[in-house]
Chains A and B, each alone.
Chain A
């Protein structure tokens, strides 16, 4: 009888282990931090932002990281456009023209706020960190798209267009956008 009880207990334990095995869902994932997060890719044709976020909700963790990365891209675009603005001003000598400065700042804002269409999550990884999910994302944005958006804004504003179209910076910008358009057509 004792033997039977022992057998039954052992068997029951094995069964429970078996059942538990099929549903051991939340085992801690000790995977490493992805390489693309520690050394973010560099490419003159793209802007990259790698961000991480945690949450008890996996989707929220991913959303937080992606939003943060997009905000980082927006800051990079803003810096890039500000750089172009300085070059325009140096070439045309309009550093003190308040109206022109205001118009360009407005164009910059529009590019940064609406020009982020085209950002794409190209890499992502999720790890379980205790009871939290940690999400890593890499968001990519083609520089050509930012240039195109800025050019459109300048062309929309007659005063800006008249002042800047003869500059070397404008020609470079225009050429880059034309190259992008040609590349799209050939694809």
Chain B
């Protein structure tokens, strides 16, 4: 075999492997990120950040993200207003306003900061698990999960119900930064929790004959002790899901 033929074959096989590698690339996440309830701690939170050139700065960002998340989960005030105009041709959004303000403006959680229990890195992201000092994290919960191999969780379509908790699922599309997608999914879920807890109707008008209608819904509520129950990523449609719950007030 001449050197030329050998090189040709080598290049051919190499390029095929390179091409297939792109399609077969796994999407790994730590199981404590996808299923936080595996961590049997009252106070635990996951922080996530995009990978950066300096590994330490990505971890710092992830810790900061986790602390922010914990602050939001402790309690937020939600103010929202949505208005839709329905016609024969379809329903149109007139305006949508959603604002959430953490009840505690200052993030002061040294206890959490000192207890970064686990760090996980996948292809794009850095994850950290923060727990309080009272919490002992078991060895279970260090597995990585390839979301391509995870079948659709039941909660994605059938949202859990309970007499003591509100449950809500938030969905977000893929954004340039994956962290934005996860963050958006959580915010959407918080919005639906707020809608369950304290919604009031400002206006529901149905014009008889023309098929027109107008709906204005208002939310002013405080949510406390929000928990992330599960997360999931649908690789096929590139959607990010988050299941949250909070106690009924």
- Check if B161 sits within 8 Å of A117, measured CB to CB: no
Min CB gap B240→A, angstroms:
11
B159 adjacent to A124 (CB under 8 Å): yes
Query: B11, A8: Cβ atoms under 8 Å?
Result: yes
A30 within 8 A of B: no
Interchain nearest-CB distance for A147 vs B (Å):
17
Per-residue CB proximity of B18-33 to A under 8 Å, as 1/0?
Answer: 1111110100000000
Q: How many angstroms between the C-alpha atoms of A128 and B239 in the bound complex?
A: 12
> Range of interface residues on chain B?
35 or more
Question: A71 near B21 (CB under 8 angstroms)?
Answer: no
A110's nearest neighbour on chain B, judged by CB, is B200
B176 interfacial contact with A, CB 8 Å: no
A120 engages B159 (CB within 8 Å): yes
- Tally A-B pairs: CB < 8 A: 141
B96 shortest CB reach to chain A, Å: 7
Among A7, A120, A126, find the residue whose CB has the most chain B CB atoms closer than 10 A.
Answer: A120
When the two chains form their complex, are residues A17 and B19 in contact, meaning their CB atoms are under 8 A apart?
A: yes
Q: Per-residue 0/1 for A86-129: is the Cβ within 8 Å of any B Cβ (1 yes, 0 no)?
A: 00000000000000000000000000111011111111111010
B200 touches A113 (CB 8 A): yes
**Contact between B215 and A68 (Cβ–Cβ < 8 Å)?**
yes
Map CB proximity to A onto B163-204 as digits: 1 under 8 Å, 0 otherwise.
110111101111000000000000010001001111111101
CA distance A34 to B158 in the complex (A): 11
Within 8 Å by CB of A124, from B163, B169, B197, B238, lies: B169
List 8 tightest A-B contacts by C-beta distance, closest first: A15-B19, A18-B19, A11-B15, A21-B23, A25-B238, A18-B23, A113-B201, A187-B163
